[in-house]
Chain A
């Protein structure tokens, strides 16, 4: 059964230096507050995994938490480039960043294989692109039934996956709805998991399109209202598109970025201790 913890306790216990960490959420339900707690606790040498390393990973990369990035699209959705990501790749600032690059279809299937207890996934993908020349774990495989050549990618099994959801009950059963992305697969593929939620309730009322993660499949739940901001929680908040636009300017310059992190993340009363 999932333990109910504070955000600080959850990150301290579940996210360790050198871990492979997946923070998932496809535009919706991105666990920003948990990302900030990882920065505050000074985690280092992380392999960060995420289909769309958008602003949240720009912050973690710029803050020096990452050694390696496994991803399929690294941009600020609807706005442009991620400047901290680019600075790390192009100039090794604040540290060199190793890349393992995939397509969305490949990453999604890697989580599915991880959640399914399989060593790899098979798909029609990557064929003819330059990605397999640089990402050595994109391989081809012949179908044993038809002989057709397909693509294989290895399972993703993060040490820990962190997601945000709308609600949990006191037994740690987690409920999310709206765009649920790849969160279920990412949690089930991981050895440990932390879920931050908008609300803890006595009973989970069913909602159309919901995904429920049973408490016994989750390591810990933390009550973090607003924990997805500037992303959003369907039914609780709307996406703060103005922040994504503003991030372009904040992140372009190293000093402005560091000031922003110092003011908005490292100052503990901002979003620590909310549980």
Chain B
């Protein structure tokens, strides 16, 4: 019998499970950082966390609020200058997994975090912009996207391509010379989508417990492909929930 849990907790746990022990993971702040630290505290103790502030191999015992909190530098194997993070570590393809969020996402995993509505010079909503994401999306071995699923976010077309997924189809990454594998997996509060190995279109492959295919269709702004062998994932274990809640509690207490 499993405990009660929220859809966000299920999403974070599903994302953490995606990370394999011993791999190097480029972590953004927020949900990716929470999931990566959960993985490190449970099944992946040797997961290498890389923060764009220059902290390689950070082992925080509390969740940082920013990518540059002191706990990251204090616990890192190495703290390197920011140009080095991008030039020596990310660009040559040394990082296995890039973990990204999105304000908008399309069926080929292209991501917008720049502007929504209107046009570029007069947007309805101005978002923070690119940060490290375009090159993370280009150069990591693979990309995992973690994002809550809704029609507002899962759109037929993104208003701005901040980070490239599979462009407009299966051949675009090669044509553009992008050397990383692209967004293989998208983890949401409803389930898991994976890029089809041939068409590269995001395909619903797994539902979280209690979620229906109809709910996922309703939260997707395009006719969503569904895998023939669609499965239902395992709910969070008691251990996963205990560790996740303890991690999240560290954000609410002073250092």
Contacts and interface: CB of A to CB of B under 8 A. Distances in A.
**DSSP class of B's interface residues: helix, strand, loop or mixed?**
loop
B1 interface: no
B64 A125 contact: no
Interface stretch (B48-56, B195-203, B217-225): B48-56
B178 interface: yes
A57 interface: no
Interface residues of A, number: 57
B162 interface: yes
Contacts of B81: 180-182, 184-185, 211
A101 to B, nearest CB: 6
Nearest to B29: A78
A72 interface: yes
A130 to B, nearest CB: 5
A270 B83 CA distance: 35
A118 interface: no
A26 B131 contact: no
B120 interface: yes
Given A108-B87, A130-B120, A182-B81, 20 more contacts: A28-B68, A28-B70, A74-B128, A75-B127, A75-B129, A78-B29, A86-B125, A89-B123, A105-B87, A105-B90, A112-B87, A125-B135, A125-B138, A129-B130, A129-B164, A130-B162, A178-B73, A180-B79, A185-B81, A239-B66
Contact of B132 (A89, A105, A148, A242): A105
B177 A131 contact: no
Interface in A215-250: 232, 234, 238-239, 241-242, 244-245
A239 B126 contact: no
Contacts of A242: 254
Contacts of B167: 128
Interface of A: 26-28, 51-52, 71-75, 77-79, 81-82, 85-86, 89-90, 101-105, 108-109, 111-112, 123-131, 134, 148-149, 178-182, 184-185, 209, 211, 232, 234, 238-239, 241-242, 244-245
Contacts of B162: 129-131
A28 B53 contact: yes
Interface of B: 29-30, 52-55, 64-70, 72-73, 79, 81-83, 85-87, 90-91, 114, 120, 122-135, 138-139, 160-164, 167, 172, 176-179, 254-255
Given A104-B82, A104-B131, A124 B66 contact: no
B83 A108 contact: yes
A167 to B, nearest CB: 17
B130 to A, nearest CB: 4
B161 A178 contact: no
A244 B91 contact: no
Nearest to B117: A90
Given A78-B65, A129-B161, A178 B79 contact: yes
A3 B70 CA distance: 30
Contacts of B164: 127-129
B91 to A, nearest CB: 6
B83 A185 contact: yes
A111 B83 contact: yes
Contacts of A82: 128
A232 B130 contact: no
Given A28-B68, A128-B161, A131-B134, A81 B127 contact: yes
B65 A241 contact: yes
A52 B52 CA distance: 12
Nearest to B172: A128
Contacts of B172: 128
Minimum-distance CB pairs A-B, first 10: A27-B68, A75-B128, A73-B131, A77-B66, A128-B164, A78-B65, A105-B86, A108-B83, A105-B135, A103-B130
A155 to B, nearest CB: 13
30 contacts: A26-B68, A26-B82, A27-B53, A27-B69, A28-B68, A73-B130, A78-B30, A78-B64, A78-B65, A79-B65, A81-B126, A103-B130, A103-B133, A104-B131, A104-B135, A105-B86, A108-B86, A112-B83, A123-B91, A124-B138, A128-B176, A128-B178, A131-B162, A148-B177, A180-B81, A181-B54, A182-B81, A211-B81, A234-B70, A239-B66
A234 B161 CA distance: 37
A105 B134 contact: yes
B123 A124 contact: no
B54 to A, nearest CB: 6
A140 to B, nearest CB: 10
Nearest to A87: B126
B70 A209 contact: no
B161 to A, nearest CB: 5
